[in-house]
Amino acid sequence: MTEFNWTRDQFHLPEGVVYLDGNSLGPLPKATPARVAQVMRPEWEELLIGGWTAAGWHMMPETLGDRIAALIGAEPGHVVVGDTLSIKIYQALAAALALRPERRVILSDTGNFPSDLYMAEGLARTLGNGTRLVTVAPEEVAGALTEEVAVLMLTEVDYRTGRRHDMTALTDAAHEVGALTLWDLAHSFGALPVDLAAAGADFAAGCTYKYINAGPGAPAFVYVAPAHANAAGTALQGWQGHAAPFDFDLAYRPANQIARMRVGTPPVLQLAALEAALDIWEKVDIADVRTRSIALSERFIAGVEATCPQLRLASPRDPDRRGSQVSFHFEDGYAAMQALIARGVIGDFRAPDIMRFGFTPLYVGEAEVDRAIATLAEIMAGRLWDRPEFKVKAMIT
Ligand SMILES: *Cc1c(COP(=O)(O)O)cnc(C)c1O
């Protein structure tokens, strides 16, 4: 049983703030500053370059990869940490395409995060062999699976609406036509139970700064199923993914299995922040997180629908078909979100009209949900969003 009073106490949150944006950037764990400081002093200060071995820096992408593997139902030794999610998507997609050389279609959906689609388009153009990205509406994915499809590339939980794909069913359907799957876990990892091995996923990638709370710019991770681990080529043949990086061979030879997905020098300070964040997850049962996330989300939907008739639910009503966020359509959603933030309730806005709220049971409970509902109701009833200062678009929403 997860102790949510304990988990809440592991985070710093500013006084008076209701934080419903942990799906974009998780808050600071109390243990993180000291863990990061330790890398600087004494590790870096005293060990200098010796830190790569003496402090274990060099192996962190793999040791932390194993800790992540345990949280997403991946086999140990098949997850590695590094780079950003966009880059890991590119690498995994390139590897998957190379395993289906006779096919030319990457299938995705129009709800996918633009960066994933941009990366796919860029890769297709670089390949220059007729590979193309095809996107269909999320509910049409299964029907669009044909024997032309090399890779089905999907984000399990839609970043805008929270709509969740059925990973197992779609992976089965992809395999039925001989396609491989690449799952983006950006809004799944830390939000709901994920079991990559049970689902039969071929490739997966995710980030650690959202629900995992590893901090701004924290590195991503990539999973390659054991069946593909020694066949997968990586388009990004960096020296750290070489079989013997310190031989400085002129010829590239990929490292065994997942280590080949490493690219360059790992970001050790960020990895230390990830390590501190993962320590909290050691004491968390994701099934408890899911149960509580659904309870909080249902409470929020009921409260908002009872008090804010101007808002229309954008997320699926069935909690099984949602991730850990709830979104509402509202024409002046941007201004309304600014008004909410000005009153200490932090969510975010996604164009064109989505107000998005993330529910993260590690540090959000019923009291926060109730305050968010009451604040939103007050803003709606009094049209408090209708002020010029709330309509000035910031660069980051
Ligand atoms: C957050 C997110 C990203 C961000 O990618 P970065 O390279 O880490 O900036 C990519 N894809 C999805 C689906 C996301 O939700």
Q: DSSP string of 84-100?
A: -HHHHHHHHHHHHHHTS
Q: Verify whether residue 184 is a known catalytic residue.
A: yes
For the segment 291-326, what is each residue's pLDDT rounded down to a tens digit?
999 999 999 999 999 999 999 999 999 999 999 999
Handedness of CA 376, 380, 383, 386 (dihedral sign): positive
> Looking at the domain assignment, is residue 80 inside a domain?
yes
Q: Are 97 and 150 in contact (CB under 8 A)?
A: yes
Instruction: Write out pLDDT tens, residues 201-252.
Output: 999 999 999 999 999 999 999 999 999 999 999 899 999 999 999 999 999 9
Residues 86 and 17 both lie in one domain: no
- Sign of the alpha-carbon dihedral angle for 379, 305, 345, 328: negative
Structure tokens at 225: 């199923």
Q: Which of 24, 25, 86, 222 to mutate to test the pocket of ligand 1 (most atoms within 8 A of CB)?
A: 86
Distance 151 CA to ligand 1 centre (A): 19
Rounded to the nearest angstrom, the distance between the alpha carbon of 308 and the centre of ligand 1 is 31
- 293 is a domain residue: yes
Contacts of 83 (CB under 8 A, 6+ apart): 91, 219, 220, 263
pLDDT per residue over 263-291, tens digit each? Answer: 999 999 999 999 999 999 999 999 999 99
Q: What angle do CA 231, 236, 241 make, to 5 degrees?
A: 65
254 and 271 fall within a common domain? yes
Q: Please work out whether the CB of residue 154 comes within 6 Å of at least one atom of ligand 1.
A: no
Q: Has residue 57 been placed in a domain?
A: yes
Domain with 272 in it: 32-281
Q: Do residues 222 and 205 lie in contact, with contact meaning Cβ atoms separated by under 8 Å?
A: yes
DSSP for residue 78: S
Look at residue 397 in the predicted model and tell me its pLDDT. 81
Q: Is residue 316 part of a domain?
A: yes
**Residue of 83, 116, 184, 348 with catalytic role:** 184
Percent of the chain with pLDDT over 70: 100
pLDDT per position as a tens digit, 14-66: 999 999 999 999 999 999 999 999 999 999 999 999 999 999 999 999 999 99
* Spatial CA neighbour of 187 closest among 317, 65, 24: 24
Question: Has 390 been annotated as catalytic?
Answer: no
Is the Cβ atom of 115 under 6 angstroms away from ligand 1? yes
Per-residue tokens: 310: 């101007």
How many whole angstroms separate alpha carbon 304 and alpha carbon 296?
12
Buried residues in 175-202 as b, exposed as e (16+ CB within 10 A): eeeebbbbbbbbbbbbbbebebeebbbb
Rounded to the nearest angstrom, the distance between the alpha carbon of 383 and the centre of ligand 1 is 34
Is 297 found in the same domain as 225? no
Residue 69 shares a structural domain with residue 175: yes
Which protein residue has the closest C-alpha to ligand 1 atom 13?
Answer: 113
- Is residue 22 included in any domain, yes or no? yes
Q: What is the pLDDT of residue 89?
A: 98
Q: Into how many domains does the chain fold?
A: 2
209 is catalytic: yes
Q: Are 332 and 312 in contact (CB under 8 A)?
A: no
The finding on whether 118 has its CB within 6 A of some atom of ligand 1 is no
Last residue of a domain, one of 249, 281, 313: 281
How many angstroms is it from 233 CA to the middle of ligand 1? 22
Atom index in ligand 1 nearest the CA of residue 116 equals 11
Looking at 223, 257, 281, the residue that finishes a domain is 281
Q: In terms of domains, do 10 and 102 share one? A: no
- Whether residue 152 sits in one domain with residue 118: yes
Q: Do 25 and 39 sit in the same domain of this protein? A: no
Annotation says 248 is catalytic: no
pLDDT for 234 equals 85
Q: Quick check: is 397 in a domain?
A: no
Among residues 250, 281, 312, the one where a domain terminates is: 281
Q: Of the listed 90, 209, 330, 359, which one is catalytic?
A: 209
Is 59 in the same domain as 205?
yes
Asked whether 116 lines ligand 1 (CB < 6 A), one says yes
Same domain, 71 and 125: yes
| Mean pLDDT, residues 336-345 | 97
Q: Is 186 in the pocket of ligand 1 (CB under 6 A)?
A: yes
Residues 67-101: tens digit of each pLDDT = 999 999 999 999 999 999 999 999 999 999 999 99
pLDDT band, residue 363 (cuts 50/70/90): very high
Does 191 sit in the ligand 1 pocket, CB within 6 Å? no
User: In terms of domains, do 167 and 277 share one?
Assistant: yes
Q: Is 30 a catalytic residue?
A: no
Of 210, 262, 292, 322, the catalytic one is 210
- Is the shortest distance between the CB of 376 and ligand 1 below 6 Å? no
Among protein residues, the one with the nearest Cα to ligand 1's atom 2 is 186
Q: Residue 145: which CATH number?
A: 3.40.640.10
Q: Does 187 sit in the ligand 1 pocket, CB within 6 Å?
A: yes
Quick check: is 396 in a domain?
no
Let me know whether 41 and 179 are in one domain: yes
Are residue 18 and residue 116 in the same domain, yes or no? Answer: no
Would 109 be classed as within a structural domain?
yes
Looking up residue 354, the CATH number of its domain turns out to be 3.90.1150.10
* C-beta of 85 in contact with ligand 1 (< 6 A): yes
